[in-house]
Amino acid sequence: MLNSTDVFVIGGGPAGLAAAIAARQQGFRVIVADGAQVPIDKPCGEGLMPDALAALEKLGISIAPENSYSFRGIRFLSAGLAVDAAFPGRAWGMGLRRIVLHRLMAERAARVGIDCLWQTPVTGISADGVHLGSRKVSARWIIGADGGNSRVRRWSGLDAFRIRDCRYAFRQHYRLAPWTDRMELHWGRQEEIYVTPVANDEVCVALISRDAKLRLTEALGRFPELQSRLRGTTVSSTEKGALTATGKLKRVSRGNLALIGDASGTVDAITGEGLCLAFSQARLLADCMRSGDLARYRLEHRRLALRPFLMARLMLTLDGRPWLQRRTLQAFQKRPDIFRRLLELYVGVLSPAHLALDGLSLGWGLLTG
């Protein structure tokens, strides 16, 4: 094992591997350590938006069609109403199992010469290195990518955290052919269910609600059309759950240490933007380390998070408000251009400044619909 490196990444999930690969692209020597083994799974909706796929391409990662399923847009459904829009231009999203994505990223990391220490928990940090039990590895830069319950964040004194909209997510897979080229979001009275095609014969179904005891089997009874589609199919994975919330940090770096991914703040899973945000942060952080300026990382990190946070706030206004869901979908049906522009904002084609103009149009539609 090396006793020194340029960059030491603590946490080998997608965010950590993205940070490691981006740093390696800048010419740094990189070590990644994680207590788990490849592939690392985590409950999520498993849909990558077009901007996330573009970010992966810049990291040198491409996804083969046989390992995934392409979808062309988003569909919202609520109480018999439905509205959908295609991604702008010829863009598409991609659904794939989280374990497939992680394996591809780990393989890319190995190919570019990153030293990955799997099943190797980090036990502490100091100003100039990382501790692995009794061994210390000196590092010029330390990156904390160890998730929403980050120990690195605590060790570095960056744990001033503000959390809002804490909810519960559960995910399971079903063995059947996708019935649409859209990723679907089914709105309920107190819950939402995402359906993402992840293969030619498999879909991912993810539930999000504020009820920690609500599980998919019970929740599907509140969505009879979706329940009918899934009835009689084979469940192809165990149900996995996780906490989802929107959380912001006062600072994401200190000295030679920076946080990335969920360790640096979280956005509610309703946006599906967590991975894309981490991939963008990775390239930014690598560039800032090359120039020796983490102050710029702090500023730009806040800017990168603006669009996902705005989208989370917008979508969470519908949570638990069936009347507002109905009026909103009715307004979208009358003005499909508004829904299309919101989708363009969602994937980064439009800037958040357009949200104000569309908000006025949508508000008028809700009042007059």
What does residue 71 show for φ and ψ, rounded to 5 degrees? -125, 150
Domain count, the chain: 2
Query: CB atoms < 10 A from the CB of 190, how many?
Result: 14
Domain end among 293, 314, 335: 314
Mean residue pLDDT across the chain: 90
Domain end among 272, 291, 314: 314
Is residue 307 domain-shared with residue 327, that is, in the same domain? no
pLDDT of 367 above 70:
no
Per-residue confidence (pLDDT) for residue 360, from 0 to 100: 46
Per-residue confidence (pLDDT) for residue 368, from 0 to 100: 47
pLDDT of 350 above 80:
no
Q: What percent of the chain has pLDDT over 90?
A: 66
Compute the average pLDDT of residues 283-293: 96
Is residue 293 domain-shared with residue 356, that is, in the same domain? no
Strand-pair partners of 125: 130
pLDDT digits (tens, 9 = 90+) for 319-332: 888 888 898 899 88
Per-residue confidence (pLDDT) for residue 319, from 0 to 100: 85
Is residue 360 domain-shared with residue 272, that is, in the same domain? no
Q: Which stretch of 40-44, 55-59, 194-198, 352-356 has the lowest confidence by average pLDDT? A: 352-356
Is residue 266 domain-shared with residue 287, that is, in the same domain? yes
Per-residue confidence (pLDDT) for residue 356, from 0 to 100: 54
| Identity of the amino acid at 326 | R
The Cα 348–Cα 52 span in angstroms is: 10
**Residue 360 domain boundaries:** 321-368
In sequence order, the 6+-apart residues with CB closer than 8 A to the CB of 334 are: 365, 369
Q: What is the CATH number of the domain that holds 277?
A: 3.50.50.60
Q: Is residue 187 part of a domain?
A: no
Q: Is residue 198 part of a domain?
A: no
Query: CB atoms < 10 A from the CB of 110, how many?
Result: 12
Is residue 294 domain-shared with residue 326, that is, in the same domain? no
What does residue 166 show for φ and ψ, rounded to 5 degrees? -75, 125
Candidates 329, 263, 340; CA nearest to 12 is: 263
Q: Is residue 211 part of a domain?
A: no
Compute the average pLDDT of residues 343-363: 63
Is residue 256 domain-shared with residue 339, that is, in the same domain? no
Is residue 308 domain-shared with residue 326, that is, in the same domain? no
Compute the average pLDDT of residues 195-224: 95
Q: Is residue 207 part of a domain?
A: no
272 vs 320, more confident: 320
In sequence order, the 6+-apart residues with CB closer than 8 A to the CB of 140 are: 5, 6, 7, 256
Instruction: Please tell me the pTM assigned to this model.
Output: 0.91
Q: Is residue 200 part of a domain?
A: no
pLDDT of 362 above 80:
no
Structure tokens at 344: 């363009």
Is residue 45 domain-shared with residue 118, that is, in the same domain? yes
Q: Is residue 81 part of a domain?
A: no
Q: Which residue bears the tokens 């080998």?
A: 12
Domain end among 314, 334, 351: 314
| Alpha-carbon separation of residue 60 from 19, 93, 106, 327 (angstroms) | 13, 17, 12, 43
Burial 217-234 (b: 16+ CB within 10 A, else e): eebbeebeebeebbeeee
pLDDT of 294 above 50:
yes
Is residue 110 domain-shared with residue 18, that is, in the same domain? yes
Structure tokens at 179: 């019935």
Of 277-286, 306-315, 317-326, 356-365, highest mean pLDDT: 277-286
pLDDT digits (tens, 9 = 90+) for 91-148: 899 999 999 999 999 999 999 999 999 999 999 999 889 999 999 999 999 999 999 8
Cβ–Cβ < 8 Å for 348, 93: no
Is residue 310 domain-shared with residue 351, that is, in the same domain? no
The Cα 82–Cα 73 span in angstroms is: 13
Strand-pair partners of 142: 8, 257
pLDDT of 252 above 90:
yes
Structure tokens at 88: 């702008």
Q: Residue 153: exposed, middle, or buried by beta-carbon count in 10 A (0-12, 13-18, 19+)?
A: buried
Per-residue confidence (pLDDT) for residue 45, from 0 to 100: 83
Is residue 135 domain-shared with residue 56, that is, in the same domain? yes
Is residue 361 domain-shared with residue 252, that is, in the same domain? no
Q: How confident is the model at residue 358 (pLDDT cuts 50, 70, 90)?
A: low
Q: Is residue 157 part of a domain?
A: yes
Candidates 270, 273, 246, 311; CA nearest to 188 is: 270
270 vs 343, more confident: 343
Q: Is residue 134 part of a domain?
A: yes
